[in-house]
Structure 1
């Protein structure tokens, strides 16, 4: 039977210091995950599983490298996290898997069911593709070469989840051990000596045409020959973390990672075909440029919002239309503004300090650091203020409409023309721009913007 690698998130050295992870209630994420990991390891070893615990002093990149240097066929890897949210009411457990991999999704369900059977008081937040995470992709899910999952055991920022974790840590460990045992048996059901891999072949379709060479299926992930990547004119020299393997003297890369290079990746299970589409209609260099054109229709924005929150349009039915109109008037990319709204409001669920009746869709502050964030008399004026604040950061051009953004005059004009430059400015989160870009990719995936006939 295969071995089980377990990593407790955080605690290693990042950016020259020890990374504690989230901090709440007098404890840290790193401390709680290390204590939990130790119990899981003990439990699994008592069941005769071979378990490898990742050293706690490694960075996130070092953790992945440590695992990848030791893996064998049939092994699996898990990293445990405790999430945190700005609202202390948010709670529950979830599992993240690499997007578009239904086998890994079913593995995640085994893991989550195991935990929730032992701790039924813990809300179930579901098994989710890593594209639904804040960063749009998770290195542990994508860069570990064996089947891997990332488990969020609860929210350390929520008093109930934190109390459960600290007072019933053994139940958490037993449940996770149950899930890991089931998952490991699915991946490698027969004990014995590890053998050389024999990966099944898969077909490749690129922009509607069948490709002459086949790819391979590795642990449920589609891999394609490196020569095809060259044909797509993708430069991987600046992407050292893209997963590469050598199989029978041919180098392959994990297909799903081409999404970061504006290639859509799909899977047809009936024909065992990985489907690639290139030539995204978004112009190169404008994907993250705030002062540019949007690409979606009003209907596509509506569908994206409704698919992520079925009640989103009940209170704000005209919001997609308002974003397209107000952003176009000021020359702002409405796709960017709309996705920022989705990120800030949780797809109009709100739930933080800002209430729906404030019509504040972008977390705009009030003047003088008041107790409440800014409020606006209507949804249109709230959207207008959002667009104006984006334009203040991204452009030196004057506004078309009269200013309604209360903090417009305090922004140094033109200091952030690119989304990444909003990080640490609009939000203290240094990954803020990356999270908006991840949201835009989700929007464009849902709208089907990868099409060989739309350039």
Structure 2
């Protein structure tokens, strides 16, 4: 499905205003959330947005762009305004619109009304430009009245905007028969972090589908593989990663195993953790090629220096030896994520077989914020008793960090989705770890972010007496649990090495 997604207004046109809100901000946030849901959860979805930031674009530009794109459907997100007593949700199609527009509008209306907590004002028709000038079926939704106190109070809540996005996504999935993704591979956004990592790559591709096929083949051979992106000379490439090590020696050993398994074009990328987020290949810096097979950027014929063992970042789970666990003192919250999503998920299921698979979220979002996502995952296990929620926080709250949970009558914050819960957790850690501004890819969902003394706890043990009160060994408990995760993953990889070598 090709969707043209149009958050109303923007830039010099704020749209409707009321109760301290601008329509352009609300519509953009809902649209971005909707885009992420569709792209992350469904197959064969292509989305073009009229804007992804606070920019100005005319109605004519929007419809012309949608028509040139050849969209299957045009969806325009808006917020209403009238007298203070007017409230509720309504949606529009063009008078005399096609039966397809009516069909999709009916599904959208039903699904959005299930979740938006608004009064139903019905299905309507209007001679709006974006409905009239588009060549494809089109619907415009008005998601509450910014001029009404009840509706505006909801609009101020990130969880409500997420619900509205989810309602629209559910409707589009039903209307266009979208199929859910069976495997979600992480596409991390690089973030500054200290230390050097040696990442083993089993191919680099221009086409995402080729990278996904490579991942499937590697997993069938017993390797924990996933896709990461990189940009070379302005072009996006999809690399297949099968390991990350702070020791070059360990990376070389793993590369040998991968090549013995038939992936002869595998190579090592050196990530020095620089602020640019760029990595350096261990072979000549020629551009990668994509021939539809497992083509890489080069081989690992040379060496780029010493072993590079970090005091706390030796990726022992990929060495075949017992890992060197982190010290329980002074270990920073900011830094690279060592364990893969599968390693995190496999570990928690040794204790709780019914645990949700959140490894991908902690990996991806942790990479974005530059936080050690695998140790944050260990903290979530500590807080939730391995996602069994035996304390005051309930599973439905998606609160994996116990944010705001202070006693029997205060079970803490509730987040609409698991993703939002993980984002809140990592935002709260970011607030403690650094005083730098919060990156803006994700909206602020941590309700206690501004209550934290910024940068007051740069290490895990600094959280003692802050995250948990008195909690004099809180950080040590998290790191001890992380050691167990490393040992478990090391043993699994040692078994894989023995199997391949036999």
Say whether the fold is shared (TM-score over 0.5).
no
Larger Rg: 2
